[in-house]
Amino acid sequence: MAEENKNRISTDLGGQVALVTGAGRGLGQTIAVTLAGAGAKVACVDVNAEALDETVALIEGAGGTAVSITGDVTDSTRVAEVVAEVVAKWDALDVVVNNAGITRDGLIVRMKDDQWDSVIAINLRGTFLFTRAAAKIMMKRRRGRIINIASVSGLMGNPGQANYSASKAGVIGLTRTVARELAGRGVTVNAVAPGFIATEMTAKLGEEILAEVRKQIPLSRLGEPQDVADAVLFFASESAGFITGHVLTVDGGLTV
């Protein structure tokens, strides 16, 4: 685990419990591994049990502690059960990372109802449901960190992604509002807004499009999943204790 965090920021999350949605692959997997590398016990949540097993194996293989929990982030009842299961197992819930998300791209005039509904449901409703469930626990303990994965698409828009951009703009609005609601109970709520990150999702764009994307990024490269995970780790740390309602862009200068 230390190897993944070599030459990166470090903090001590020993004794803390984190929950990461969409932890089966991509950004979610890297975030889960990074939090575990800082000492947190990590509940890895995803609909894909096989992918979760891989994430847990990575964490445990490096000496960390993790558990896999399958669940649909859009199912209110299941979300409440997942949070209750984590608290029952480890008697705490200190950090929640709402990372689960999908894209179903298409121009607005051709976008189908189900393309809109599924993206809004997973990206925004899922974030709402886990935030609500976690808030009830954290408010009682008067401490907690809720970290939502937004996107620069929610700040600047992106052609062909009306559904995705709307969902991530909603996540940003949710973040800022809940930050105000929970601040008095010692709970911070922040968002990380990645730009173009080298994941399976962006790889599907093809090299020709990615070459054009790099030209738009002042740092002239795609970000790495670890860049996003480091931002999440910072928000989870004590160093970010006086930061709430903030949206941190991790985009190589794309939105400058």
Query: Among this protein's residues, is 47 annotated catalytic?
Result: no
Give the active site residue among 164, 179, 188, 233: 164
b/e map 85-103, b = 16+ CB within 10 Å: bbbeebebbbbbbbbbbeb
CA dihedral sign, ordered 230, 25, 41, 141? positive
- Side chain identity at residue 143, one-letter code: R
Other C-beta atoms lying within 10 Å of the C-beta of residue 8: 13
Kindly state the tokens that stand for 62: 């490096």
Query: So which residues are the catalytic ones?
Result: 164
